[in-house]
Amino acid sequence: MHNFRQLQTWKEGMEVTKQVYLLLAKFPPSEKFGLISQISRCAVSVPSNIAEGSSRSSNKEFAHFLSIALGSLFELETQLLLSAELAIVNSIDVEPIIADLIQLQKKITVFRKTLN
């Protein structure tokens, strides 16, 4: 069992989630039940799945939850790119978050491989 609060991937997942929520404040209210809802669920899913996986008794189970977190990151990246392409938000606001997402995707991928 791992202490999720000490995992760098969890800390970075929390930071990305905070960045996403700050960005969502710039979305129009008309997206409240659309992209805002979907993006916020994806963002929260990342550190949540890392935390949940860390409680599992085997590395195989933990790796499974890291895979779910990784999938949420790719889904989140897609939704943020779509938001920028639709001009819902400025791409300048999205780009640094995307860069952080890509770095976290790489770290989770490496971490997951060490568990297998």
Average pLDDT over residues 20-47: 95
CA distance 53 to 82: 29
pLDDT band at residue 2 under the 50/70/90 scheme: confident
**What pLDDT shows up at residue 55?**
94
**What pLDDT shows up at residue 4?**
94
In sequence order, what E strands does 8-58 have?
A: none
77-113 pLDDT, tens digit per residue, is: 999 999 999 999 999 999 999 999 999 999 999 999 9
| Domains with residue ranges and CATH for the chain | 4-115 (1.20.1440.60)
Long-range contacts (CB closer than 8 Å, 24 or more residues apart) made by 30-39: 31/88, 35/79, 35/82, 35/83, 35/88, 38/79, 39/76, 39/79, 39/80, 39/83
36-83 pLDDT, tens digit per residue, is: 999 999 999 999 999 999 999 899 999 999 999 999 999 999 999 999
Q: Which residue has the higher pLDDT, 66 or 116?
A: 66
**What pLDDT shows up at residue 33?**
87
Whether 1 has a pLDDT exceeding 80, the answer reads: no
**What pLDDT shows up at residue 6?**
95
